[in-house]
A and B are shown apart, each in its own frame.
Chain A
Amino acid sequence: MIAPAAIMIFLFFLMPVVLTAIFAMTNMSTATGISGGAWQVTQGAINRLKADMPDLAGGIAEPRFVIDEEGLAALEALKIKAGFSIELRTSHMGEVFPSRREAERMIKALKDRPSTREVKQISDLFNRSVLNTRFENRDGLMASLNKLGFTLTPAEQETVAAATYTGWVWTTENFKIIGNSPDMAQIFLNTAFYVSVTLLLFNVSYALFLAITTHYMPASTASIFRAIWLLPRITPVVIYVLMWKWLTWDSGFISMFMGQFGYPVKNYLLDSAYNAWFFVILINGFIGASMGMLVFSSAIKAIPQTQFHASEVDGASRWQQVRHVILPQLRWPILFVTCYQTLSLLASFNEILLSTRGGPGRATEVWSLAAYHTALNNYTGNLEYGLGAAMALVLVVVGIVLSLIYLRIFRYDTLISKPLIED
Chain B
Amino acid sequence: MRILLDKFSKSFGSTRIIEDMDLEVGSGEMLALLGPSGCGKSTTLFAVCGIHRPTSGRILFGDRDVTHLPSQERNVGVVFQSYALYPHMTVEENIGFPLMVKRVAAADIKKQVADIAALVHIGDLLGRRPAQLSGGQQQRVALARALIRRPDVLLLDEPLANLDAKLRLDMRSEIRRLQKETGITAILVTHDQVEAMSMCDRIAIMKSGEIVQIATPSDMYKDPRTSFVASFLGNPPISFLKGRAQQGAFVLGENGLRLPLAALSGIADGTALSLGVRPEHFGTAGGVPVEGRVVFAETQGRENLYDVVLPDGSVLRSIQPVRDDVKPGDSVRWNLDSASTFVFAADGQRL
Asked if chains A and B come from one complex, the reply is yes
Q: Tell whether, in the assembled complex, residue A313 and residue B101 are in contact, meaning their CB atoms are under 8 Å apart.
A: no
Contacts of B97 in A (CB 8 A): 311, 314, 316, 324
- Beyond A314-B101, A315-B98, A316-B97, whether A421 also contacts B51 by CB under 8 A is no
Contacts of B133 in A (CB 8 A): 421
Q: Check: B82 CB closer than 8 A to any chain A CB.
A: yes
Contacts of A419 in B (CB 8 A): 129, 131-132
Contacts of A311 in B (CB 8 A): 86, 97, 101
A288-341 at interface with B (beta carbon < 8 Å): 304, 306-307, 309-317, 320, 324-325, 328-329, 331
CA distance A312 to B84 in the complex (A): 12
Q: Tell whether, in the assembled complex, residue B72 and residue A306 are in contact, meaning their CB atoms are under 8 Å apart.
A: no
Q: Check: B287 CB closer than 8 A to any chain A CB.
A: no
CA distance A101 to B220 in the complex (A): 134
Which among A314, A419, A420 has the highest number of chain B CB atoms within 10 Å? A314
Q: Tell whether, in the assembled complex, residue A324 and residue B134 are in contact, meaning their CB atoms are under 8 Å apart.
A: no
Q: Check: A70 CB closer than 8 A to any chain B CB.
A: no
CA distance A314 to B134 in the complex (A): 23
B100-131 at interface with A (beta carbon < 8 Å): 100-102, 129, 131
Chain B residues bordering chain A, tally (CB within 8 A): 32
Contacts of B49 in A (CB 8 A): 309, 313
Q: Check: A413 CB closer than 8 A to any chain B CB.
A: no
B241 → A minimal CB distance (Å): 44
Q: Beta-carbon contacts of B131-144 to A below 8 Å, as 1s and 0s?
A: 11110100000000
Please classify how large the interface on chain A is, using the bins under 10, 10 to 19, 20 to 34, 35 or more. 20 to 34
Q: Check: B317 CB closer than 8 A to any chain A CB.
A: no
Q: Beta-carbon contacts of A99-120 to B below 8 Å, as 1s and 0s?
A: 0000000000000000000000
CA distance A420 to B129 in the complex (A): 10
CA distance A304 to B74 in the complex (A): 22
B171-203 at interface with A (beta carbon < 8 Å): none
Contacts of A420 in B (CB 8 A): 132
Question: A310, A313, A316, A331: which contacts B50 (Cβ < 8 A)?
Answer: A313
Q: Tell whether, in the assembled complex, residue A423 and residue B134 are in contact, meaning their CB atoms are under 8 Å apart.
A: yes
Q: Tell whether, in the assembled complex, residue A315 and residue B82 are in contact, meaning their CB atoms are under 8 Å apart.
A: no
Please classify the interface of chain A as helix (H, G, I), strand (E, B), loop, or mixed, using the class held by over half of its residues. Answer: helix
- Beyond A311-B97, A312-B51, whether A304 also contacts B102 by CB under 8 A is no
CA distance A314 to B82 in the complex (A): 16
Contacts of A325 in B (CB 8 A): 86
Which among B46, B72, B77 has the highest number of chain A CB atoms within 10 Å? B72
- Beyond A311-B97, A315-B102, A317-B101, whether A421 also contacts B88 by CB under 8 A is no
Q: Check: B206 CB closer than 8 A to any chain A CB.
A: no
Q: Check: B87 CB closer than 8 A to any chain A CB.
A: yes
Q: Check: B70 CB closer than 8 A to any chain A CB.
A: yes
CA distance A266 to B136 in the complex (A): 71
Q: Tell whether, in the assembled complex, residue A421 and residue B131 are in contact, meaning their CB atoms are under 8 Å apart.
A: yes
B22-56 at interface with A (beta carbon < 8 Å): 46, 49-51
B29 → A minimal CB distance (Å): 20
CA distance A311 to B101 in the complex (A): 9
CA distance A325 to B132 in the complex (A): 19
A117 → B minimal CB distance (Å): 99
- Beyond A313-B74, A313-B77, whether A329 also contacts B88 by CB under 8 A is yes
Contacts of B89 in A (CB 8 A): 328
Q: Tell whether, in the assembled complex, residue B77 and residue A304 are in contact, meaning their CB atoms are under 8 Å apart.
A: no
CA distance A314 to B98 in the complex (A): 5
Contacts of A331 in B (CB 8 A): 88
CA distance A54 to B49 in the complex (A): 95
Question: B46, B76, B82, B101: which contacts A320 (Cβ < 8 A)?
Answer: B101
Contacts of B129 in A (CB 8 A): 419
Contacts of B78 in A (CB 8 A): 309-310, 313
B319 → A minimal CB distance (Å): 34
Contacts of B134 in A (CB 8 A): 421-423
Question: B51, B74, B101: which contacts A316 (Cβ < 8 A)?
Answer: B101
Q: Which residue of A lies closest to B52 (CB)?
A: A309
Q: Which residue of B lies closest to A327 (CB)?
A: B88
Which among A311, A315, A324, A328 has the highest number of chain B CB atoms within 10 Å? A315
B77 → A minimal CB distance (Å): 7
Q: Which residue of A lies closest to B49 (CB)?
A: A313
CA distance A364 to B246 in the complex (A): 100
CA distance A421 to B82 in the complex (A): 17
- Beyond A306-B82, A329-B88, whether A312 also contacts B132 by CB under 8 A is no
- Beyond A328-B88, A329-B88, whether A312 also contacts B82 by CB under 8 A is no
B93 → A minimal CB distance (Å): 9
Q: Tell whether, in the assembled complex, residue B51 and residue A313 are in contact, meaning their CB atoms are under 8 Å apart.
A: yes
Contacts of B136 in A (CB 8 A): 423
Q: Tell whether, in the assembled complex, residue B70 and residue A312 are in contact, meaning their CB atoms are under 8 Å apart.
A: yes
9 intermolecular pairs with C-beta atoms under 8 Å apart = A307-B86, A309-B71, A309-B78, A310-B86, A313-B74, A316-B72, A316-B97, A317-B101, A419-B129
10 A-B pairs closest in CB distance:
A419-B131, A306-B84, A310-B84, A312-B71, A423-B134, A314-B98, A328-B88, A316-B101, A313-B71, A306-B80
